[in-house]
């Protein structure tokens, strides 16, 4: 199937742009992030990057044409797939062909199991209005839900309820699903459409497994020094800064020091390039009822323990109440996930694309260990770090993890680091 | 209170436009790769006319004798020359919600606040992007974005010879529309004196701690980039 490129959201008050010039012609090969088209908005000229690799199938808007946000402007056949039949009959002009002939009529509120189609920006808009996408009729190509559809649906609801658009998202109605009554003798099942956050997480996880060559390495970390330090400081810390002192700021601090020393761990890669990031944005996996989200602490290396604690508290609270901003969940260069808060002893986390490593920290508990020939009890946690073996070799990952643990076991050593 | 982002700023002095453009393109690439932070590049150009994407059949006959470049920024034609502070914000707009109009608005806001430091009251005019004092325009804006990284930017007339604008219709306006800080206040403010006020205003507006870097540090980034690109 062809990938459909629409005019993206470019800001709240930007509703349309003018096509200036296509950078690729029909039939050209395109790579991910290759500029496709130049679009001019008021005083700002934007080159839209290609979201996929493939072949330009069809161009549906001509230079000089004014195109609204959300409008379909071209189709790209993703590499390895056959062109769609629709590509054989080029649209006369995009403005006269808002929907390809092959598109089904604008669907009534979806009752089928398929998730309604829309761009992430439109999905967010629907969420902001507290609307369930399954209840919105899509008027775009192939029943796609447009920003306008969402606004209309919101207006219709407001008219009924006699209120204006809510600034706070209203609780979304329960997803519409219609379980078929079980046939006699059959066990009851419940079928829920895969949509929204769950669908995004599902796609993201599966994609990561396909892209990266996952290997997980384990090591035990002795938290005793940090446990003692935290116990001594936690009340004072809470009183002074209004947030709880957890171990996470220390783990992030130690991780950023190590990322500086092992540049390939703070990186991403394409088929032809290795991209070493010179900034250190650490994502923290946060559990929510609707599913996992990973807010990002930007420039974590430049923040103090206190600043990290405050930032984590803030991001965590807003993550659980769906109040994160777009840039607060993007741009991560490394991720830490804490399965320990649920009691897990060890796990093999999945890399958060396009990153190349993720650190899983686990339950901190007193355990017997041998120190100087004696069995003693210490506060121990098992770290599991998954890394992408395409880029990171085993010895690098092990050295990284050992250095990280050294910093946490002897926090003073971090201050002596030359980086 | 710490700011959300860390960025850089650098004053490059007077540079030929063509060389600066090539250089700017490289910095955009470095920002896309992440080795450059959000950076404010301050620069002054020798007399030059640039023509943006919003000029289809611009009459450049009057501009004969002046170097002219057709470029990919938004907006029409404009004049750059000595005494004009040009700022190129090379920012990753993905981190800032990809909101183009807000970005332009923020660029204007910084200039308005910096000019206020010199006692000049400025504002915006609907549909005419830029910074205005009364019905005269003191700063022009034209931005380009590629892979959601911004380049080109804003030009603020401090002691600019306003006759330079006579060779064109700046952004489709009459050349007489243009003014400068010197013409408005009688004060000849140096670029290096004005830039810090602008940086301070942008620090607040963009919630970014802009720290000064030097050419040597940029060269180091370039060296790292070239070595990575050849991997």
Strands B68-70 and B48-51: parallel
Rg (CA), chain B: 17
Average pLDDT (B8-27) is 93
Residues A75 and A141 in one domain: no
| CB contact B28 to A (< 8 Å) | no
Q: Quick check: B145 and A44 CB within 8 A? A: yes
Catalytic residue among A204, A214, A298, A389: A389
A201-213 tens-digit pLDDT: 888 899 999 999 9
Cβ-Cβ contacts under 8 Å for A145 (sequence gap 6 or more): A116, A117, A118, A122, A126, A133, A136, A137, A138
- The three-class DSSP label of residue A335 is strand
Average pLDDT (B162-171) is 80
Residue B158 in tokens: 């401090």
A89 or A408: which leads in pLDDT: A408
Residue B99 distance to chain A (closest CA, Å) = 4
Optimal mutation site among A43, A276, A328, A333, interface B, most CBs of chain B within 10 A? A43
Say which CATH number the domain at A74 has.
Answer: 2.40.50.100
| Mean pLDDT taken over chain A | 80
* Residue A313 resides in a domain: yes
- Looking at A102, A131, A160, the residue that finishes a domain is A102
Q: Where are the alpha helices (DSSP H) in A36-182?
A: 120-128, 147-161
State residue A226 phi and psi, 5-degree precision: -70, -35
- Cβ-based contacts of A302 with chain B (< 8 Å): 6
Of A11, A13, A333, the CB nearest to B98: A11
CB A32 within 8 A of CB A44: no
**Cα A115 from Cα A110, distance rounded (Å):** 8
- Cβ-based contacts of A64 with chain B (< 8 Å): none
Closest to A308 (Cα-Cα) out of A286, A284, A339, A333: A284
Residue A7 in tokens: 């005019």
Average pLDDT (B15-29) is 92
Residues A117 and A266 in one domain: no
Q: How many CA atoms lie within 13 A of A405 on its CB side?
A: 21
pLDDT category at A237 given cuts 50, 70, 90 is very high
Render the burial of A229-242: b for 16+ CB within 10 Å, e for the rest: ebeeeeeebeeeee
Residues A283 and A398 in one domain: yes
Residues A227 and A362 in one domain: yes
Averaging pLDDT over each range in A23-37, A159-173, B191-205, which range is the top one? B191-205
* Residue A198 resides in a domain: no
* Residue A117 resides in a domain: yes
| CB contact B128 to A (< 8 Å) | no
Closest to A360 (Cα-Cα) out of A377, A380, A375, A345: A345
| Mean pLDDT taken over chain B | 89
CB A351 within 8 A of CB A212: yes
A74 or A165: which leads in pLDDT: A74
A97-128 tens-digit pLDDT: 333 333 333 333 333 445 667 766 677 667 66
Of B54, B102, B103, the CB nearest to A40: B54
Residue A299 distance to chain B (closest CA, Å) = 7
**Cα B79 from Cα B155, distance rounded (Å):** 9
Which residue of chain A is at minimal alpha-carbon distance from B103?
A11
pLDDT category at B212 given cuts 50, 70, 90 is very high
Q: For the packed helices A305-320 and A224-241, what is the interaxial angle rounded to 10 degrees?
A: 70
Q: Quick check: A14 and B100 CB within 8 A? A: yes
Please state whether the peptide bond connecting residue A206 to the residue before it is cis, i.e. omega within 30 degrees of 0: no
- Cβ-based contacts of A274 with chain B (< 8 Å): 228, 231
3-state secondary structure A234-277: HHHHHHHHCCCCCCHHHHHHHHHHHHHHCHHHCEEECCCCEEEC
The single-letter DSSP state of residue A183 is P
**Cα B83 from Cα B57, distance rounded (Å):** 29
Residues A132 and A253 in one domain: no
Tell me the helix, strand and coil percentages in chain A, rounded to 5: 30, 25, 45
Q: Hey, which CATH number is domain B5-223, 3.40.50.720, 3.30.930.10, 3.90.1170.50, 3.30.70.940?
A: 3.30.930.10
**Cα A308 from Cα A314, distance rounded (Å):** 10
State how many domains chain A has. 3
Catalytically active residues of B are: 171
Residues A85 and A119 in one domain: no
The pLDDT assigned to A377 comes to: 93
Percentage of residues of chain A with pLDDT beyond 70: 77
* Residue A338 resides in a domain: yes
Say which CATH number the domain at A144 has.
Answer: 4.10.320.10
Residues A48 and A155 in one domain: no
Which residue of chain B is at minimal alpha-carbon distance from A302?
B6
Percentage of residues of chain A with pLDDT beyond 90: 45
Catalytic residue among A28, A203, A299, A393: A393
DSSP structure string for chain B: ---SEEEEEEEEEE--HHHHHHHHHHHHHHHHHTSS-EEEEEEE-SSEEEE-TT-SS---GGGTTS-EEE-SSSS-EEEE-TTEEEEEEE-BGGGGTT-HHHHHHHHHHHHHHHHHTTT---EEETTEEEEEETTEEEEEEEEEEETTEEEEEEEEESS--GGGGGGS-GGGS-GGGB--HHHHHS----HHHHHHHHHHHHHHHTTEEEEE--HHHHHHHHHHHHHHHT-
Residues A98 and A128 in one domain: no
* Residue A261 resides in a domain: yes
* Residue A387 resides in a domain: yes
Out of A10-24, A151-165, B84-98, B170-184, pick the least confident. Answer: A151-165
Q: Quick check: B129 and A42 CB within 8 A? A: yes
CB A259 within 8 A of CB A334: yes
Residues A349 and A240 in one domain: yes
A384-399 tens-digit pLDDT: 999 999 999 999 999 9
Residues A97 and A123 in one domain: no
- The three-class DSSP label of residue A5 is strand
The pLDDT assigned to A80 comes to: 66
The pLDDT assigned to A243 comes to: 93
Every domain of chain B and the residues it spans: 5-223
**Cα B142 from Cα B131, distance rounded (Å):** 12
The ipTM of this complex is 0.73
Q: Quick check: A275 and B33 CB within 8 A? A: yes
Rg (CA), chain A: 25
Residue B152 distance to chain A (closest CA, Å) = 10
- Cβ-based contacts of A47 with chain B (< 8 Å): 72, 144-147
Residues A323 and A408 in one domain: yes
Domain boundaries, position A243: 212-415
- The partner residues of A274 in beta bridges, in order of sequence, read A269
Cβ-Cβ contacts under 8 Å for B191 (sequence gap 6 or more): B11, B42, B44, B83, B85, B158
Q: For the packed helices B215-229 and B17-33, what is the interaxial angle rounded to 10 degrees?
A: 60
**Which B residues 155-214 touch A at CB under 8 Å?**
none
Say how many CB pairs under 8 Å bridge A and B: 115
Q: Quick check: A9 and B92 CB within 8 A? A: no
Of B72, B142, B228, the CB nearest to A43: B142
pLDDT category at A154 given cuts 50, 70, 90 is low
CB B157 within 8 A of CB B139: yes
- Cβ-based contacts of B98 with chain A (< 8 Å): 8-11, 326
Averaging pLDDT over each range in A41-45, A233-237, A313-317, B38-42, which range is the top one? B38-42
pLDDT category at A169 given cuts 50, 70, 90 is very low
* Residue A180 resides in a domain: no
Say which CATH number the domain at A299 has.
Answer: 3.30.559.10
Per-residue pLDDT for B113 more than 90?
yes
| CB contact B73 to A (< 8 Å) | yes
Optimal mutation site among A33, A45, A120, A308, interface B, most CBs of chain B within 10 A? A45
**Which B residues 83-112 touch A at CB under 8 Å?**
92, 94-104
| CB contact B148 to A (< 8 Å) | yes
Residue B51 in tokens: 């023509």
Residue A11 in tokens: 């800001």
């Amino acid at each position: 199937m062809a990938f459909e490129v629409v005019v993206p959201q470019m800001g709240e008050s930007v509703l349309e742009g003018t096509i200036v010039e296509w950078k690729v012609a029909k039939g050209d090969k395109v790579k991910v992030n290759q500029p496709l088209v130049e679009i001019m908005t008021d005083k700002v000229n934007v080159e839209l990057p290609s979201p996929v690799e493939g072949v330009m199938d069809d161009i549906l808007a001509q230079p000089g044409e004014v195109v609204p946000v959300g409008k379909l402007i071209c189709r790209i056949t993703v590499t390895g797939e056959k062109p769609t039949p629709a590509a054989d009959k080029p649209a006369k002009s995009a403005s006269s062909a808002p929907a390809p002939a092959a598109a089904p009529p604008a669907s009534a509120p979806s009752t089928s199991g398929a998730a309604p189609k829309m761009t992430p920006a439109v999905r967010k808009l629907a969420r902001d209005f507290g609307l369930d996408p399954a209840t919105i009729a899509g008027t775009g190509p192939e029943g796609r839900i447009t920003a306008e559809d969402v606004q209309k649906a919101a207006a219709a609801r407001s008219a009924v309820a006699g209120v204006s658009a809510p600034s706070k998202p209203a609780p979304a109605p329960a997803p519409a699903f219609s379980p078929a009554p079980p046939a006699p003798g059959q066990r009851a099942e419940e079928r829920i459409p895969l949509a929204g956050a769950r669908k995004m997480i599902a796609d993201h996880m599966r994609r990561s497994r396909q892209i990266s060559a996952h290997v997980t390495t384990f090591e035990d970390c002795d938290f005793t020094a940090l446990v003692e330090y935290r116990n001594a400081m936690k009340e004072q810390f809470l009183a002074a800064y209004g947030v709880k002192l957890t171990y996470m700021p220390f783990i992030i601090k130690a991780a950023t020091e190590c990322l500086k020393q092992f540049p390939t761990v703070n990186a991403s890669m394409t088929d032809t390039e290795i991209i070493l990031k010179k900034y250190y944005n650490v994502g923290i996996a946060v559990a929510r009822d609707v599913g996992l989200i990973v807010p990002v602490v930007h420039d974590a290396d430049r923040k103090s323990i206190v600043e990290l604690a405050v930032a984590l508290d803030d991001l965590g609270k807003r993550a659980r109440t769906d109040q994160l901003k777009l840039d607060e969940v993007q741009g991560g260069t490394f991720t830490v996930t804490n399965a320990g808060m649920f009691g897990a002893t060890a796990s093999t986390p999945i890399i958060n694309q396009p990153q190349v490593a993720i650190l899983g920290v686990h339950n901190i508990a007193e355990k017997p260990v041998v120190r100087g020939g004696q069995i003693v009890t210490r506060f121990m946690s098992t770290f599991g770090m998954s890394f992408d073996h395409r880029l990171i070799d085993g010895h690098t990952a092990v050295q990284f993890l050992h250095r990280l643990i050294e910093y946490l076991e002897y926090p003073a050593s971090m201050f002596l680091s030359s980086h | 209170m710490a700011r959300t982002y860390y960025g850089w700023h650098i004053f490059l002095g007077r540079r030929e436009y063509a060389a600066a453009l090539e250089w700017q393109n490289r910095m955009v690439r470095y920002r896309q790769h992440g080795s450059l932070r959000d950076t404010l590049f301050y620069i002054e150009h020798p007399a030059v006319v640039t023509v943006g994407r919003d000029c289809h059949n611009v009459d450049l006959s009057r501009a004969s004798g002046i170097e002219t470049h057709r470029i990919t920024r938004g907006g029409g034609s404009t004049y750059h020359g000595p005494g004009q502070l040009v700022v190129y914000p090379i920012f990753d707009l993905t981190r800032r919600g990809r909101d183009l109009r807000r970005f332009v608005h923020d660029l204007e806001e910084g200039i308005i606040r910096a000019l206020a430091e010199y006692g000049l009251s400025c504002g915006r005019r609907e549909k005419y992007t830029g910074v205005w004092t009364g019905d005269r325009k003191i700063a022009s804006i034209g931005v380009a974005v590629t892979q959601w990284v911004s380049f080109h930017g804003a030009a603020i007339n401090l002691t600019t010879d306003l006759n330079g604008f006579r060779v064109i219709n700046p952004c489709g306006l009459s050349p007489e529309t243009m003014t400068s800080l010197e013409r408005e206040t009688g004060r000849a403010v140096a670029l290096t004196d004005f830039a810090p006020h602008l940086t301070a205003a942008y620090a607040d507006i963009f919630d970014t701690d802009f720290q000064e870097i030097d050419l040597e540090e940029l060269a180091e980034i370039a060296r790292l980039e070239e070595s990575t690109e050849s991997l």
